[in-house]
Chains A and B, each alone.
Chain A
């Protein structure tokens, strides 16, 4: 989500290894209608966008559909991206998550969603992922393991599961106040562990 105010100078990037700067630069070229830049940006973002959507939506065909919508929206609205309000990666992932959640929260998808029983497990077919993604996954897993079980479950259900905090509270059998606190505390801990601003 974007915050107003400028990004503090010298702040830690959202992504390690300078990938943020690359993506920000690409996105500003995309905003000027550079199709080659969009192709490169696609190669950088399609994996995370699709992977995140798969986590939330589960169904491969629907995920592909949503991912296409998201990536085309990145192209279409690139000029509306404001680097002062966050990184290009975060901007794109925010769109991706929202679209995925819209898809599963729509009434038509409600029944389908009931079938998603193994939500906490990643789909089995992502073994062939890039080394880089595995590295990032390892980092994130380590940080997730540093959370309390309740924090970890709440965050995973809300983000990867696409559940609203009310639904998460229902699933875990805890109060709304508790879930809000646990998610916030957990995210702060994750953020610090990952070295995000």
Chain B
């Protein structure tokens, strides 16, 4: 056993309060601690004193923390007791004395890393799922709206050739104030142009959306809402992105007779 060293001994307090941030310095003290029973006893008493300070700082933790910790514990494997291979218990205890807690730290760090990574994955997946769900909802809503027009008692269907070739078919319902337009064999619009739809009414001309790009000569149905009596559906070629007013001669004008 090393002789009592006042220069080391005085470190007991700051060590017990976790106040040594220099790893080398802390190691030196722990080395000393293994040889100085008096220091070790003193550190123990001071640590217990610090525990009283901790209990005096007691605060109610957030209520949801309990369930989270207990649930996490239920799915976390516990470490087995430390087994001391080929070393006397006393020696092993001396080795473990001091910073055993610090030594066992990397594993929980890793475990929490895994938990954090899993959470990230869950968040990402949830986001993707919600996006898909949102997309589906939108598609479903779109389908439902189309179905409502198709099933309307006053639904009428009109097919007309456009001036550029191909045909446009419109199903409209004044009861639903809506129409559906599809096209077949319409030539692709010139580069940098789009087909834009219009509701050409006696009150005013309203933009009614862009025709989707064609797939195998057909366009997916476009739903146009806000149809009023007297409206005609029109189609023009406009710059990409569309415009707010028709700027070219319509390639199609279809009256929506009641």
Whether the Cβ atoms of A80 and B13 lie closer than 8 Å is no
- With both chains docked as a complex, state the minimum distance between the C-beta of B146 and any C-beta of chain A, in angstroms: 47
B34 contacts chain A at the CB level, 8 A cutoff: yes
CA distance A80 to B107 in the complex (A): 14
B24 contacts chain A at the CB level, 8 A cutoff: no
- Collect the chain B residues with CB atoms within 8 Å of residue A72's CB: 69, 72-73, 76, 108, 111
A133 contacts chain B at the CB level, 8 A cutoff: yes
- Collect the chain A residues with CB atoms within 8 Å of residue B51's CB: 14-15, 87, 89-90, 93
Q: Mark B90-102, 1 if CB is under 8 A from A, else 0.
A: 0001101110111
A47 contacts chain B at the CB level, 8 A cutoff: yes
- Collect the chain B residues with CB atoms within 8 Å of residue A159's CB: 17-19, 50, 53
B228 contacts chain A at the CB level, 8 A cutoff: no
A184 contacts chain B at the CB level, 8 A cutoff: yes
- Collect the chain B residues with CB atoms within 8 Å of residue A114's CB: none
- With both chains docked as a complex, state the minimum distance between the C-beta of A101 and any C-beta of chain B, in angstroms: 5
Whether the Cβ atoms of A1 and B47 lie closer than 8 Å is yes
B135 contacts chain A at the CB level, 8 A cutoff: no
A interface secondary structure, majority? helix
Whether the Cβ atoms of A164 and B20 lie closer than 8 Å is yes
- With both chains docked as a complex, state the minimum distance between the C-beta of A123 and any C-beta of chain B, in angstroms: 7
Whether the Cβ atoms of B65 and A69 lie closer than 8 Å is no
Question: Which partner residue on chain B sits nearest A129 by CB separation?
Answer: B58
Q: Mark B59-86, 1 if CB is under 8 A from A, else 0.
A: 1111001101110111011111110000
Whether the Cβ atoms of B19 and A183 lie closer than 8 Å is yes
- With both chains docked as a complex, state the minimum distance between the C-beta of B152 and any C-beta of chain A, in angstroms: 54
Whether the Cβ atoms of A97 and B18 lie closer than 8 Å is yes
Whether the Cβ atoms of A137 and B59 lie closer than 8 Å is no
Whether the Cβ atoms of A50 and B61 lie closer than 8 Å is yes
Whether the Cβ atoms of A35 and B21 lie closer than 8 Å is no
B48 contacts chain A at the CB level, 8 A cutoff: yes
- With both chains docked as a complex, state the minimum distance between the C-beta of B236 and any C-beta of chain A, in angstroms: 56
Whether the Cβ atoms of B14 and A180 lie closer than 8 Å is yes
Whether the Cβ atoms of B58 and A1 lie closer than 8 Å is no
CA distance A155 to B1 in the complex (A): 30
- Collect the chain A residues with CB atoms within 8 Å of residue B49's CB: 187, 190-191, 194, 196
CA distance A177 to B6 in the complex (A): 12
Whether the Cβ atoms of A68 and B46 lie closer than 8 Å is no
- With both chains docked as a complex, state the minimum distance between the C-beta of A157 and any C-beta of chain B, in angstroms: 9
20 contacts between A and B (CB under 8 A): A1-B44, A3-B44, A15-B52, A46-B66, A51-B59, A68-B69, A79-B81, A90-B50, A94-B50, A140-B56, A159-B17, A159-B50, A164-B19, A180-B14, A181-B10, A184-B10, A184-B13, A187-B49, A190-B49, A190-B53
Residues of chain B having any CB pair with chain A under 8 Å: 10-22, 33-34, 37, 40-62, 65-66, 68-70, 72-74, 76-82, 93-94, 96-98, 100-102, 104, 107-108, 111-112
